[in-house]
Amino acid sequence: MHKGLQALNSEHSQIVTLRKGLLVRTAQINTAQHITTDMCALPGLKLALVVDGCADFAFNGLDCVLGKTPGTDKNTGALINLVRPELCVQHCQPQTYAKTLSVYFSHDWLLQSLQNTPAQRLNILEQHLSVHMWEPSKKALVIAQQILLTPVSGCGVPKLFLESRCIELISEALLSLLDSAPHCAGAMISPDERLIRAKALLDNCNCEPFSLQAIAERVGMSISSLQRHFQRHFHISVAQYHRQQRLKRAIDALKNEHITIGQAADLAGYSNTANFSTAVKKEYGATPKQLQNTL
């Protein structure tokens, strides 16, 4: 934590090595203004959860906004692969009370624990900063609370209890990873490629409404990072680009599939044909009727 903010902000954390290749870090942060904390993450996998509040974990070229999604009961966690040591920077916004949990486990520990798992199903291990976003169950969040509430000094039963709780969290995150399609594990090649993948998903949405959260998970980015970098790279917001693609698909169907203007409006996501006509006029310089009659 930056020293100048310690009077206004507080952080209580503990790091416990449970056994070789497995450790857990917990932190409770109460911020009066924006704070940044950082630590060096060793090679292996990092399971990150924010039980209360919201925090932004940033590695080199990778941002993960974790915690409860505003206005919903959903919580987002991350499983991140590190091939080499990497600086992990955590940002907390002003007036935030956050409880964070990170479980680090080495590749050797994981492979020894999953001896019968085909290597190709663990493709998250192939790339540095590969990420798998997952939605922890209610049970997992209860387990995370138990870990946060268990102080440890030395060894003994509390340490054994923490180890069993951490293994349960790891098991749930890995099952989520193994149950997903191989390409959904989020192998990170470059930020540009992630944006190209996001654009391709929008290009092939077949006019269906999209979930920004789902696209962010598919390409291994946080929602805020996806929105920021998409705008910077393509000079248009994700929502605006999606709206353009739906309009294009609707106009193509209007001209080539002989659907009505009302049906085209539905395809484009407009419940009102007048609003649809206004959007088409603005985008194409002609009304839907005029475009419909164009050979």
Q: Give yes or no for residue 82 having a pLDDT over 80.
A: yes
4-63 pLDDT, tens digit per residue, is 333 334 557 788 899 899 999 998 877 655 567 777 888 999 999 988 877 777 887 677
pLDDT at residue 110 in the model? 86
Picking from 264, 246, 262, the residue whose alpha carbon sits closest to that of residue 207 is: 246
**Distance of CA 134 to CAs 49, 131, 224, Å?**
10, 10, 17
Assigned token pair, 233: 């790279």
Tell me: domain 3-185, CATH 2.60.120.10, correct?
A: yes
Assigned token pair, 205: 């949405």
pLDDT at residue 11 in the model? 56
191-203: average pLDDT: 76
Domain boundaries 189-295, corresponding CATH code:
1.10.10.60
222-244: average pLDDT: 86
User: What does the radius of gyration of the chain's CA atoms come to, in whole angstroms?
Assistant: 23
Q: Where are the domains of the chain?
A: 3-185, 189-295
**Cα angle, residue 277 at apex, residues 249 and 198 outer, rounded to 5°:** 35
Q: Give yes or no for residue 186 having a pLDDT over 70.
A: no
Q: Give yes or no for residue 207 having a pLDDT over 50.
A: no
User: What count of other Cβ atoms lies within 10 Å of the Cβ of residue 94?
Assistant: 11
pLDDT at residue 233 in the model? 85
pLDDT over 70, % of the chain: 78
pLDDT at residue 144 in the model? 92
Beta-strand relationship, 35-41 and 54-59:
unpaired
Picking from 236, 235, 238, the residue whose alpha carbon sits closest to that of residue 223 is: 238
Picking from 166, 164, 163, 174, the residue whose alpha carbon sits closest to that of residue 114 is: 174
How would you classify residue 53: left for phi > 0, otherwise alpha for psi between -120 and 50, otherwise beta?
Answer: left
How would you classify residue 291: left for phi > 0, otherwise alpha for psi between -120 and 50, otherwise beta?
Answer: alpha
Pick from 21-25, 171-175, 186-190: least confident: 186-190
Q: Is residue 43 within 8 Å of 21, Cβ to Cβ?
A: no
pLDDT at residue 55 in the model? 76
